[in-house]
Chain A
Amino acid sequence: MSMRQVRVVSFLAVMAAIVIGAGLQSPPPARSQQAADVLLNVLGTGATKVNIAIPDFTLVGGADTQQLVRQLPEVAGNDLRFSGIFSPVTGTPALPASNPEALRKAWADFAGAGAHAGLQGLLAVRGARLEVEMRLHDLTSPEFRLIGSKRFQMPVAEFRRLSHKIADEVVLQFTGEPGVADTKIAYVNKASGSKELYAMDYDGASPNRLTSNQSINLSPVWSPDTRSLAFTSFMRGYPYLYRIFPFERRPLQLLAGFLGINSSPAWNPDGSSVALTLSKDGNPEIYVLAVATGAVRRLTTHPGIDTEPTWSPTGREIAFVSDRAGRPQIFVMDAEGANVRRLTQAGFNTQPRWSPKGDAIVFTSRQGSHDLWAVNPDGSNLRRLTSGGDNQSASWAPNGRHLVFQSSRQGGARLFTMLADGSEQQPLSRAPGEARSPSWSPRLP
């Protein structure tokens, strides 16, 4: 057997294993036009994932000195696996660029091995820039029809973003909503000796330190436009609220420096306001700060502790923590502070996080150690998401499907992700050691 034949057979063996694992018999003939229908068809056969083949990209211009033709599919494949929808296979030889018959045969091999979809990338290296045309094929259709194609450009140094964008596009085609691979996660780490802010790609690549003030830095939260993070810091001695711009040469901005606490920031959906906790009027209360003017408007007036606001995606309601009923519980009020209603009844509940889809509020419940729970905004369907270790500080991905959170289940404090129903809990693939208080960014522009 030639090397090529060995590789093809090996690939078929891998695909066969996937097919067996997925309980597939053979893909049904496609009757539909849209990738989303492909997904439905695949799931209708009893498979739980879409098998997608992503061979090495095809170099169509320039020189590839970094094996990007292999790296780009690997990163995109990891993104697609992370989405929970796909079972990718990568590492197989590149497809031909300009030989339709050979291409068709290659897709036929993949389809015969159980692949439902195929992704070809055509890569051109133009100096310091990469150009990729992605072509997504429906391998359940007799002619392996092209679902769609799209071109992306990125500097060579940011090649991972190119993969992320490709993966997000594939998810968009299959589900109607883009994936979340082209996002960042900010977090707190005290490896340097003090709690400082960091940011990294959602998959743990490229960690980058944002602060070095050697004081205490807490609670980073991305702005909706992804250009800044609000956070609490003791850098000037007292807990003030700041805004930092990680991607621009722009100075640190003081958002709130009142007497007492200035903490617990939460951006409203259009980024014009930050809800926060201030104790300047006698005890911790929730206010809304207009970012452009610095004006603050008070929302709560109870003499206990009111803190940790989180906005609904409509911007019309705010969930928050209050101890007005004894132990801390989750409450909801409208964005003017009226119509306060209680959401949780028992236990010790903090850190509410309203899903970007609006359908759930995840919060942290302390019963001995901490665990993440979820509840519908009307108070119904209370359910537990985690158990084992100490689990807290959740942050939603922009798709409202994934969450990142802090867990001690493997020692210390590390970042884990899961789906909104609590399934697929796993550590971040390239976790930065100790990390706390994560914030998942919106999709990068």
Chain B
Amino acid sequence: MALRRGSVLAVLPLLVLTLFLVGCPKRPATTAASAPAPAPAPAPAAPDAPVSPPPSAAAPTAPSPSAPGPAAPAPTPAPAPATPPRPSEFRAHDALKDVYFDFDKYDIRPNDARTLDTNAGWLKQNTGQLLLIEGHADERGTNEYNLALGERRAKAAMNYLVSQGVQAPRITIISYGEERPVCADKSEACWSQNRRAHFLVKER
């Protein structure tokens, strides 16, 4: 049985059905020219660069996001809060201690309320400081759920401080979920340290 390379394709006896059309699959587009784009964003989207350059027109103001589309009308009539400063502009302060939470919980426990009272006192003495509250979760639970959980913790701490007389417009919250742990052990000792709200300040 000789194999003759380069020979013309034989016409094999096709007994029944040749079921296919000859066709060439398309490759995904590799140039922008072949992409039928929706209208480009009016605000320039930041290039995929390291975090340090400040955002230009991409202001994180609610309710209108700097989203694609020529006319992005504000879908809800909520008042637009001021653009929050970048988290990297805030610093920790010895006077402001972390508070901690039970697993899968975001209520403020009595001892942590005392810590928050102390934090509130300092903040009311130092009204020139803006406050950033970080909310965190331990590694159990999944990443997206923990992002929401961290947010609820930061919010709970904020609400408590506001109830103690700290001015709400001074406060920004951010959740890091399980993404910024202070320790990595798989133990309750470590997990309990990660279930926290953390406080940072910045001069106005």
Do the two shown chains form a genuine complex with each other?
A: yes
Select which of B3, B12, B174 is within 8 A of A58 by beta carbon: B3
Task: Point out the residues of chain B lying under 8 angstroms from A169, CB to CB.
Answer: 20
CB proximity of A440 to chain B, nearest CB, Å: 16
Q: Is B104 an interface residue (CB 8 A)?
A: yes
Q: Could you tell me if A255 and B67 are in contact, using CB atoms closer than 8 angstroms?
A: yes
CB proximity of B107 to chain A, nearest CB, Å: 12
CA distance A168 to B142 in the complex (A): 33
Q: Considering only CB atoms and an 8 Å cut-off, how many residues of chain B contact the other chain?
A: 88
Q: Could you tell me if B151 and A279 are in contact, using CB atoms closer than 8 angstroms?
A: yes
Q: Is A281 an interface residue (CB 8 A)?
A: yes
CB nearest to B179 among chain A residues: A216
Q: Could you tell me if A250 and B66 are in contact, using CB atoms closer than 8 angstroms?
A: no
Q: Could you tell me if B144 and A255 are in contact, using CB atoms closer than 8 angstroms?
A: no
Select which of A105, A227, A236 is within 8 A of B46 by beta carbon: A236
Of A11-19, A76-84, A144-152, A418-426, the stretch lying at the interface with chain B is A144-152
Task: Point out the residues of chain A lying under 8 angstroms from B20, CB to CB.
Answer: 148-150, 169
Assuming the contacts A235-B48, A250-B37, A254-B41, asked whether A305 and B68 have C-beta atoms less than 8 A apart, the reply is: no
Q: Could you tell me if A98 and B66 are in contact, using CB atoms closer than 8 angstroms?
A: no
Q: Is A21 an interface residue (CB 8 A)?
A: no
Q: Is B88 an interface residue (CB 8 A)?
A: yes
Size bracket, chain A contacts: 35 or more
CB proximity of B200 to chain A, nearest CB, Å: 12
Q: Could you tell me if A99 and B73 are in contact, using CB atoms closer than 8 angstroms?
A: no
Q: Could you tell me if B15 and A145 are in contact, using CB atoms closer than 8 angstroms?
A: yes
Q: Could you tell me if A227 and B35 are in contact, using CB atoms closer than 8 angstroms?
A: yes
Task: Point out the residues of chain B lying under 8 angstroms from A216, CB to CB.
Answer: 176, 179-180
CA distance A236 to B46 in the complex (A): 9
Q: Could you tell me if B144 and A351 are in contact, using CB atoms closer than 8 angstroms?
A: yes
Q: Could you tell me if B3 and A348 are in contact, using CB atoms closer than 8 angstroms?
A: no
Assuming the contacts A33-B17, A307-B148, asked whether A254 and B25 have C-beta atoms less than 8 A apart, the reply is: no
CB nearest to A323 among chain B residues: B104
Q: Is B24 an interface residue (CB 8 A)?
A: yes
Task: Point out the residues of chain A lying under 8 angstroms from B129, CB to CB.
Answer: none
Q: Is A445 an interface residue (CB 8 A)?
A: yes
CA distance A215 to B73 in the complex (A): 30
CB nearest to A105 among chain B residues: B1
Q: Could you tell me if B151 and A143 are in contact, using CB atoms closer than 8 angstroms?
A: no
Q: Is B10 an interface residue (CB 8 A)?
A: yes
Q: Could you tell me if B25 and A294 are in contact, using CB atoms closer than 8 angstroms?
A: no
Q: Could you tell me if A236 and B51 are in contact, using CB atoms closer than 8 angstroms?
A: yes
Q: Could you tell me if B87 and A237 are in contact, using CB atoms closer than 8 angstroms?
A: yes
CA distance A99 to B86 in the complex (A): 73
Q: Could you tell me if B48 and A245 are in contact, using CB atoms closer than 8 angstroms?
A: no
Q: Is B77 an interface residue (CB 8 A)?
A: no
Q: Could you tell me if B55 and A260 are in contact, using CB atoms closer than 8 angstroms?
A: no
Q: Could you tell me if B1 and A96 are in contact, using CB atoms closer than 8 angstroms?
A: yes
CB proximity of A94 to chain B, nearest CB, Å: 6
Task: Point out the residues of chain B lying under 8 angstroms from A243, CB to CB.
Answer: 68
Task: Point out the residues of chain B lying under 8 angstroms from A72, CB to CB.
Answer: none
Q: Could you tell me if A148 and B1 are in contact, using CB atoms closer than 8 angstroms?
A: no
Assuming the contacts A260-B173, A277-B144, asked whether A148 and B32 have C-beta atoms less than 8 A apart, the reply is: no
Q: Is A165 an interface residue (CB 8 A)?
A: yes
Contact with A along B1-40 (1 / 0, CB 8 A): 1111111111011111111101111111111101101110
Q: Could you tell me if B152 and A283 are in contact, using CB atoms closer than 8 angstroms?
A: yes
Task: Point out the residues of chain B lying under 8 angstroms from A240, CB to CB.
Answer: 60
Task: Point out the residues of chain B lying under 8 angstroms from A135, CB to CB.
Answer: 12
CB nearest to B34 among chain A residues: A248
Of A44-52, A111-119, A206-214, A333-341, the stretch lying at the interface with chain B is A206-214
Q: Which of A315-369 contact B (CB under 8 A)?
A: 321, 323, 327-328, 348, 350-351, 364, 366
Q: Could you tell me if B3 and A150 are in contact, using CB atoms closer than 8 angstroms?
A: no
CB nearest to A248 among chain B residues: B35
Contact with B along A71-111 (1 / 0, CB 8 A): 00000000000000000000001111111101101100000
Assuming the contacts A100-B12, A147-B19, A213-B51, asked whether A257 and B66 have C-beta atoms less than 8 A apart, the reply is: yes
Q: Could you tell me if A295 and B2 are in contact, using CB atoms closer than 8 angstroms?
A: no
CA distance A234 to B78 in the complex (A): 24
CB proximity of B6 to chain A, nearest CB, Å: 7
CB nearest to A225 among chain B residues: B28
Task: Point out the residues of chain B lying under 8 angstroms from A328, CB to CB.
Answer: 104, 141, 145
CB proximity of A360 to chain B, nearest CB, Å: 19
Q: Could you tell me if A211 and B48 are in contact, using CB atoms closer than 8 angstroms?
A: yes
Contact with A along B115-140 (1 / 0, CB 8 A): 00000000000000000000000001
27 contacts between A and B (CB under 8 A): A33-B16, A133-B9, A145-B16, A147-B17, A150-B22, A215-B50, A227-B28, A234-B179, A235-B51, A238-B87, A240-B60, A244-B48, A257-B59, A257-B60, A257-B66, A258-B62, A260-B175, A280-B63, A295-B75, A296-B63, A298-B76, A305-B145, A307-B144, A307-B147, A308-B144, A393-B143, A445-B28
Chain B residues within CB distance 8 Å of chain A: 1-10, 12-20, 22-32, 34-35, 37-39, 41, 43-51, 55, 58-69, 71-73, 75-76, 78, 81, 84, 86-88, 104, 140-145, 147-149, 151-152, 155, 173-176, 179-180
Closest 4 interchain pairs by CB? A294-B67, A98-B10, A294-B72, A148-B19
